[in-house]
Structure 1
C-alpha cells in the first residue's frame, strides 16, 4: 500500500516536471523539424556595388507537414525563410537580423523574429481579403519559391556567407527543413551547397580582396615610326596601390610588382610599357611588335 502511494506521488512529480519543462520551452522559444521542402536549387550571390549583396535560392516547398503540438495538430500560418549568419570563428551570430529585405516570389516579408538566438526567420502573415489572390507566403500546397534577400556587406564582413533554410510558421513554433539549409557565399555560381546543420561551423568562404589602384596619366602624344624611347618622370611613371581591404583575411601591407601592357597604335608602331611599380623613370619602347 505504501509502495503504491509512493509510486503515484513519483509519477505525479514526473508529470509536473514535464509540464514545467514544456512551459519553459514555450517561453524561450522552440523549433521543430520536418520535411518542409524537397530541396534547394539555383543559389546565387551578387555584389550590388553599393555596399550590399543580393543572395538567392529556389526552395521547392512541400505540403505543410502534419505536426502535433501541445494541444493537437498545429495550425499552419505561413511559409518562412530562416537565415543564419556567422562571426569570424564560424559560430552563428546571436539574435541577428542579417537580411534587410527578403522576397518570396517577389512578395516582401512583413514579420521577422529570432525565436531562437541562432537564426532569424522571415515570414508574411498578412492574409488578403477573400476577393484577392493570396500571397505565396500563405500557400500550404507544394510550389516552387524564388527567395531573394538583400544584405549589407558590413553585417557579414567577418564571414561573407549565409545559410538559408526553408521553414513553416505555425501557431506554436517554427518548423525547419529537416535536411538543413543552403549555404550561399561569394563562391556560389549557381549550384547549392547543402549544409545539414546550419549552427555547425560551415566551410570558410574564400577571402574577398578589394584593391584600389591609381594609374598614372600617360599621354604618349604622337609617336614616330621606328625604334624610339619616351621617358616618363615621376610621378607619371608610378602606379599607386592603396591599402587593400579584405574579407576573411588580414593583410597589413601589400606591395607587389604590377605588370601592365599598354598599347597605342601609331601607324604600324606600337608603344608598350610593362612592369610598372614605383620606378623613378620608365622607358616606353616604340616599334613594330
Structure 2
C-alpha cells in the first residue's frame, strides 16, 4: 500500500541582508584605534562627498608596528562605477577641526597626514584621544561608486609608511546605515541592500513506496524555487542559503510527519541545482548561492525520501523556510 504526501509547503523565503590593494612602498597594521568607528554620516551631492565619523585613537606607543610615530593619518579609498580604485580629484580632511598639512596618493588610496615641517595640532598628537574626522571629497565626475571607505592610521617617520588600523576601514554610502567595517584590501561589497523576492511553490511528492527510496525532481518553472532582484550590484556580494523546517532533523535528514500520528515520520533530503555548485540539504552552515546578473535565479529541487516498510499510511508533510544572507 502506498503513502500519499501533500502540502510540502515553503512558508517563506527570506531576506537578503544586504564592502584596496596598494602600490604604496609598504603598509603595516596595528591596534591604532580603540574599538571601531561611530557617529558615521555621509552627505552625497553630485560629485562631492562629505564623510564624518568619530574614532578613539590609542596611544601611538606600542601601536606603530615597530616604527617611529610621525602623525595620525586618514586613508581614503574611493572607486569608479565598476568598483575599481579611483582617486578623488581633491580631498580636504580634518581632525577635530584642524586640516591635514600633507596629502599623498597611491594607486588605490589617498592619504591625509601631517609632517614635521608643517605641524598640525591633533594630527601630531601621539597620545590617546577622541577624534572627530571630516573628509570632504571632490570626485571630478558623477560616475563613481556610491560608497567610499575611510581608515584610521598612524604615520611613520622616514618613509611615511602608513600603519593601518587593524579594525579595517569604515565603509559608507548614502544607501547604508550605521558604521560598517570592511577589509579595504578586498573589492568593496554592494553599496545597497538588495531586496530579494522569492517565488516558493508547494511541492507534492505524491505516493511514497514503503521500504524503498523515492526520488522526485521538480524542473518546470512553476515548480522551481525562484529569486528575483535588482541585479545592478548583485555580483559584488556573496550569498548563502540556509533552510530550516517545521518538523526538525534526524540523522542529518529532514522529517515528513504523519498528520494523524506525529510519531510516524519519513526522513528526506533536499538538493538544489541552478545557483552555482549543487547544494545538498540539510546543512549545518549556509551553502554558497550564486545569483545571476539577469535579475532572476531559479533552483531546481530534488527530494529523496525513505519510507519504512512498516510505516502507517496517511498524509505526511513538512514546511521549509529559506533564508538568504550575505557572506561576510
- For normalisation by structure 1, the TM-score amounts to 0.52
Query: In structure 2, what is the equivalent of residue 141 of structure 1?
Result: 127
Query: In structure 1, what is the equivalent of residue 96 of structure 2?
Result: 105
- Rate the CA distance shift 1:168–1:68 in 2: closer, same or farther, 3 A: closer
Match of 1:62 among 55, 58, 61: 58
CA contact (8 A) 2:31 2:63 kept: no
Whole-angstrom distance in 1 between the partners of 2:143 and 2:42? 15
Whole-angstrom distance in 2 between the partners of 1:61 and 1:122? 15
**Runs of 5+ consecutive residues of structure 1 not aligned to the other structure:** 1-26, 208-247, 250-289
Write the mapping of 1:250-269 to structure 2, written as runs, cut at 5 A. Answer: none
Whole-angstrom distance in 2 between the partners of 1:28 and 1:90? 20
- For normalisation by structure 2, the TM-score amounts to 0.46
Q: Does 1:166 align with 2:152?
A: yes
Whole-angstrom distance in 1 between the partners of 2:115 and 2:51? 23
Whole-angstrom distance in 1 between the partners of 2:166 and 2:153? 9
Match of 1:36 among 23, 32, 36: 32
1:99 shift after superposition: 4.6
- Aligned to 2:73, the other structure's residue is in SS state strand
> Could you give the per-residue CA deviations for residues 151-203 of structure 1, whole angstroms, max 9, x where no partner exists?
225446320211000101111321001121100111244x20111x1131222
Whole-angstrom distance in 1 between the partners of 2:30 and 2:155? 12
Structure number with bigger Rg: 1
- Aligned to 2:123, the other structure's residue is in SS state helix
Write the mapping of 1:41-52 to structure 2, written as runs, cut at 5 A. Answer: 41-47=38-44, 49=45, 51-52=47-48
Query: In structure 2, what is the equivalent of residue 224 of structure 1?
Result: none
Task: Note the aligned Cα RMSD (angstroms).
Answer: 2.8
Match of 1:181 among 165, 169, 189: 169
CA contact (8 A) 2:71 2:156 kept: yes
Whole-angstrom distance in 1 between the partners of 2:137 and 2:148? 10
Whole-angstrom distance in 1 between the partners of 2:129 and 2:99? 17
1:40 shift after superposition: 0.7
Whole-angstrom distance in 1 between the partners of 2:92 and 2:80? 21
Whole-angstrom distance in 1 between the partners of 2:24 and 2:168? 22
- Rate the CA distance shift 1:200–1:76 in 2: closer, same or farther, 3 A: same
Match of 2:186 among 197, 200, 204: 200
- Rate the CA distance shift 1:66–1:98 in 2: closer, same or farther, 3 A: farther
Which protein has the bigger helix share?
Answer: 1
Whole-angstrom distance in 1 between the partners of 2:49 and 2:63? 36
- Rate the CA distance shift 1:156–1:117 in 2: closer, same or farther, 3 A: farther
Which protein has the bigger strand share?
Answer: 2
- Rate the CA distance shift 1:144–1:157 in 2: closer, same or farther, 3 A: farther
Aligned length: 170
> Could you give the per-residue CA deviations for residues 70-119 of structure 1, whole angstroms, max 9, x where no partner exists?
xxx522110000000112222323xx2455211111001110112x4221
CA contact (8 A) 2:31 2:165 kept: yes
Larger RCO (CA under 8 A, 6+ residues apart): 2
